[in-house]
Structure 1
Amino acid sequence: MSGGDGAYASVEICAGAGGQAVGLHNAGFSHRALIEVDPHAAQTLRYNTEKQGWRRCEVLEEDLTTFSAADLEKRIQTEDAKKLALISGGVPCPPFSMAGKRLGADDERDLFPAMLDMVDKLRPRAVMIENVRGLLDEQFRAYRDQIKSRLEGLGYTVVFWKLLEARNFGVPQLRPRSILVAMMKSDAPYFIEPSGASKETTVADALEESMRQRFSAAETRTRDEANQAFAQWLAKAKAKNSVAPTLVGGSKKHGGADLGPTRAKRAWEELGVDAHGVAEPLGQTKDEERDLFGPRGPKLTVAQAALIQGFPEQWKFVGRKTAAYRQVGNAFPPLVAQAVGEAIFEALNAADRKETPPEPPEATLVIGERRLELSAG
């Protein structure tokens, strides 16, 4: 499915560089507002939404600690605010990340309350929130229960709160994310969990064409030498035949961009990629020895890192190299967002058509080596 200007209007908070927005647009939702505090990411959203012709989509560069649902209602058309089908967002991960202090609700960056306040005020038919896998740890059970209780008190049913692995949805990367979906009680019975892609996409699949272009454009090697270097990279990537490790965007507190910690760098090297930095864009390389012909293999450009996240090639990232890479590294893979978005879209559609709700799936309880099929009723 592809859409974007249909009947189901949506608003997204913490939109970043647009990974979730791209996926939900392709699932058929029509964005009315994308809210993002980072100026580089907001510029990326403005550039692409205008370039892609996303009509009626406002990009609002706002801080959700001070920007409220009432403020949003003043910035978008009144009818849109009253008839929202979906509020989505990737609220900040550090409060729940293994890489942080895991302060949860005590972390000043926790924006779940702001998200739920917006849901309370605007009452969309569905809510979708993505975060790191750590949110599903036992440590945060009480916090999850609070979120669920708040949503239930507002008339929603949490129909889905699980870990989805990006590689299962055609993304050439290991990237587990916790996804929460809540729907109004009248719509909830129609929700069917998203299914994965039929085939895994590997790093070789994702990067073959862009690597061919980069090596073909080399100026410090003969055509034969460049072709041979490309063939060596491709053979190594195909021999490994796997997805990439998780891209890490990092924060403004750290130095220049690279593709992750030591273990990730070793995994990239097995794929023929030098993860110690990010290359200049195609056609702008000043040091081919560094970017393309180093002993560890070629470095990735920002555009290639975006392919590893599953972004479409036409989605461009605004800002200098490090700022642009951080937008990519911190993104939510569009293909995962699309799969969840399609499940929500189809549920809303089925409810509007007054179809008979699907039978609840049977739950399976495993005790020792016995498997008991339990009726969901």
Structure 2
Amino acid sequence: MEDSRLERLSCLAVCAGAGGLALGLEQAGFDPVLLLDNRPVACETLRLNRPRWNVLETDVLDFDPVDHQVTYDVDLLAAGLPRVKAGAAVARVDDEEIRVLAATIMLMHGVRPRALLVENVPDLVSKPAFEPVRAYIAAELQHLGYRHHWFVLNAMDHGVPQDRKQGILVALKGDAIEDFVVPTPDAKPPVTVGEALGASMASRGWPHAAAWAAQADRVAPTLVGGSWNRGGADLGPTGSKRSWARMRVNGGTVADEPPGPDFPWEPSLDVKGMVSLTVEQAARLQGFPGDWRFAGRKTARYRQIGHASPPPVGRALGLAIRAALPARA
């Protein structure tokens, strides 16, 4: 929920995707002066939900802030970047994801925001393979007068019904980083899949919804968007599918609608006795509000959700960053 009492600050959002990070930051008081993404369907999603947002369909590798001076001196540069290859033994400078990360850091030279927020995989924070990347970032930020902090958050600690670890980089000008406090986990226990989706599963009169929700008594495994270039929509790799199967969910597909009154639920059977999640239910597990719409066909909609940053985490990070920013002169 957006807090209207907050002083509105400005941000530039790159690799904005379906808007999860931007939405969370909006709730924390940051209004985007410009949002960038290179996928037409993601830009359509952003415009569908926030017609007033200034959305530019372009690659961050091609973006020049000289042509968009509205981005100069924004309060925050925020980037939910494409995931670097977490399993790589060596971080290659020619990997597309590393090039996008480097381009985002180079934007700091032209934009000169008061703060930087980058969200990616946890391995980027601590794995030895990414030490050269971290060293490059540290040198660039120090040269520009920023100090920075790497850390890992889990979305389930911030109201998201999903075990989703995120690697975070925050940088602030001068000594302001000393006032930055990493968001603390919520006092309440994590929301389970059954709690999050029980009402949705019952929405078409499925008589087994309550029984299903009762046994879906844990958080979801990490939703994975998968490749944009091949395959259909599913809930992730083999390990994730096994976790879903223990909650009697078929992780190999995405449904068009929740189960109806005649859907047979037999926990003793294989996938034939399991329910499948809809795109809208996947969005709920990512922490999107029910009125956030996604453009495109089913697979494209699911891809956007799986690749998104959960809005509640964006809100928590936004509030922590704005609390550390000194008042403008």
Q: Same fold (TM over 0.5)?
A: yes
Deviations 1:253-275 (A, max 9, x none): 32111101122111111112111
2:252 aligned partner, one-letter code: H
Whether the 8 Å contact between 1:125 and 1:187 is mirrored in structure 2 is no
State which of 188, 198, 206 in structure 2 corresponds to 1:208. Answer: 198
Runs of 4+ in 1 over 4 A off after TM superposition: 3-6, 287-290
Deviations 1:322-366 (A, max 9, x none): 000000011111111111110001112xx2189xxxxxxxxxxxx
What is the aligned partner in structure 1 of residue 128 from structure 2?
Answer: 138
Matched residues in 2 for 1:277 and 1:6: separation?
A: 43
Q: CA RMSD in A?
A: 2.4
What is the aligned partner in structure 2 of residue 352 from structure 1?
Answer: 327
1:26 aligned partner, one-letter code: Q
What is the aligned partner in structure 2 of residue 60 from structure 1?
Answer: 56
What is the aligned partner in structure 2 of residue 150 from structure 1?
Answer: 140
Whether the 8 Å contact between 1:3 and 1:29 is mirrored in structure 2 is no
2:198 aligned partner, one-letter code: E
Cα distance, 1:102 vs structure 2:
5.3
1:352 aligned partner, one-letter code: A
Matched residues in 2 for 1:45 and 1:102: separation?
A: 35
Q: Percent identity?
A: 41
What is the aligned partner in structure 2 of residue 315 from structure 1?
Answer: 292
Q: Does residue 175 in structure 1 map to residue 157 in structure 2?
A: no
Matched residues in 1 for 2:90 and 2:191: separation?
A: 32
Q: Does residue 230 in structure 1 map to residue 209 in structure 2?
A: yes
User: What is the TM-score with the length of structure 2 in the denominator?
Assistant: 0.90
| Number of equivalences | 320
Matched residues in 2 for 1:282 and 1:297: separation?
A: 12
Q: Does residue 21 in structure 1 map to residue 17 in structure 2?
A: no
Cα distance, 1:231 vs structure 2:
2.9
2:121 aligned partner, one-letter code: V
Cα distance, 1:3 vs structure 2:
4.4
1:94-133 superposed matches below 5 A: 94=84, 96-98=85-87, 103-110=91-98, 111-133=100-122
1:45 aligned partner, one-letter code: L
Deviations 1:207-246 (A, max 9, x none): 11111113x2xxxxxxxxx31x223312321xxx210111
Whether the 8 Å contact between 1:269 and 1:296 is mirrored in structure 2 is no
User: Which runs of no fewer than 5 residues in structure 1 stay unpaired?
Assistant: 217-225, 355-377
Matched residues in 1 for 2:72 and 2:131: separation?
A: 33
State which of 225, 232, 256 in structure 2 corresponds to 1:249. Answer: 225
User: What is the TM-score with the length of structure 1 in the denominator?
Assistant: 0.79
Q: Is the radius of gyration larger for structure 1 or structure 2? A: 1
Give SS of 1:89's match: strand
1:309 aligned partner, one-letter code: Q
Deviations 1:261-311 (A, max 9, x none): 12211111111211110001469x9x9679xx9634211110100111111
1:261-272 superposed matches below 5 A: 261-272=237-248
Cα distance, 1:108 vs structure 2:
3.0
